[in-house]
Amino acid sequence: MIVPQLTDAYERKFYYLRLSITDVCNFHCTYCLPGGYTPTARPKSFLSPDESRRVSRAFAELGTEKVRLTGGEPSLRRDFTEIIAAVRENPAIRTLAVTTNGYRMARDAASWRDAGLTAINVSIDSLDARQFHLITGQDKLRQVMDGIDAAFSAGFKKVKVNTVLMRDVNHQQLSAFLHWIKPRPIQLRFIELMETGQGGALFHQCHLSGEVIRLQLERLGWRRQPRGRSDGPAQVFSHADYQGEVGLIMPYEKDFCASCNRLRVSAVGNLHLCLFGEQGIPLRDLLADDDQTCCIEGSYRAQSTEQKAEPFPASRQQRYNTEPVIYRGLGYVASLTVAPPQTRETGATRTIADAPHPATFHLKKQ
């Protein structure tokens, strides 16, 4: 049976779920956690393996076919392989990936593969050990490199490497990165630095558009590849002389939001309709037992504050889901109703007034 895909009011289809399983990380990356991870006063209870299985199963029956386990650093969970196996129980999930800092990959890549993991993304922001240490707070480049070798030995056909692009830090290392991936099936993904949390000063100092890398690649004969329906946001380039590929992730590009195919569930069970949104819709009460996958009816309200009114879809910050939406899947109806803010339309341009508005989420058996 063909499962109707989750589709919103702007005809974006959602095949891809990012499922966070922890907020904890042991690296101190300058662009993310420069002061290191700080536990909250009340320790958070992160999603259990059973809850991870249930939430991925519910979304799979609504058309999701790819799940990415994220964090924090997912491999710090002692039950990480158990979570992999729990999500992989569902044959509708065709791709189960992880984004990791690679800290435990050399030791555990084979067990992850055996548990059902199908893809790995690992973060490497510099091929220079000293600079890697300065960026991450950990002198672990050799260990991460050994982890990539272990992943290939375990049977992973390709490894994706995430590199946050930073002016005067690593943007001049393109030739070294290209030399590294030439004989290896690695997809190197340059990710534009984003302005998050307390990182405003770093952003203004180090942000560099991925367009700079794209122009260099095109001059060197790299060609952009078509994008698959469950692929992530990267623009992928290949070259006949290279086993590896290069991807560019540019969240400030004007069409970035229009091509989004992802939803996100946080480590404490909140559904985020936008990857950049801080507010979430609580789903955890629906994950208490397996009955939630055959008879769910929940109603939750969440506040989301829009940014200044801007033309659709120029701003990556504005939320697209601004009118009632019905998602239909295999025997389920998921309705997301967002009380419409004041809007005005002129031709193909939709503008959202900056005012908070509530969202109501329902998921139930037909």
Q: Which of 181-185, 228-232, 326-330 has the lowest mean pLDDT?
A: 326-330
The CATH number of the structural domain formed by 6-258 is 3.20.20.70
pLDDT at 33 over 90: no
Q: Which tens digit of pLDDT belongs to each residue from 259-292? A: 888 889 999 999 888 766 777 888 888 777 776 5
Residue 20: exposure state from Cβ atoms within 10 A (0-12, 13-18, ≥19): buried
pLDDT in tens, 54-85: 999 988 988 899 999 999 999 999 999 999 99
- Per residue in 153-165, pLDDT (tens digit) is 999 999 999 999 9
The pLDDT score that the predictor gives to residue 292 is 53
Region 251-257 average pLDDT: 79
pLDDT bracket for residue 317 (50, 70, 90):
very low
CA distance linking residue 15 with residue 53, whole number of Å: 17
Q: What's the pLDDT at 237?
A: 98
Tokens of 323: 């009118």
What residues have CB less than 8 Å from 253, skipping those under 6 apart?
210
150 or 253, higher pLDDT: 150
pTM: 0.81
DSSP 286: G
User: Strands, DSSP E only, in 186-230?
Assistant: 186-192, 223-224
Q: How many other CB atoms sit within 10 Å of the CB of residue 246? A: 28
DSSP string of 138-197, one letter each residue: ---HHHHHHHHHHHHHHT-S-EEEEEEE-TTTTGGGHHHHHHHHTTS-EEEEEEE----T
Q: What is the pLDDT of residue 229?
A: 80
**If we measure between CA atoms, which residue out of 79, 80, 53, 51 comes closest to residue 67?**
53
Looking at residue 13, what is its pLDDT?
84
* Averaged pLDDT score across all residues of the chain: 80
What does the domain layout of the chain look like in residue ranges? 6-258
DSSP letters for 39-79: --SS---PPPHHHHHHHHHHHHTTT--EEEEESS-GGGSTT
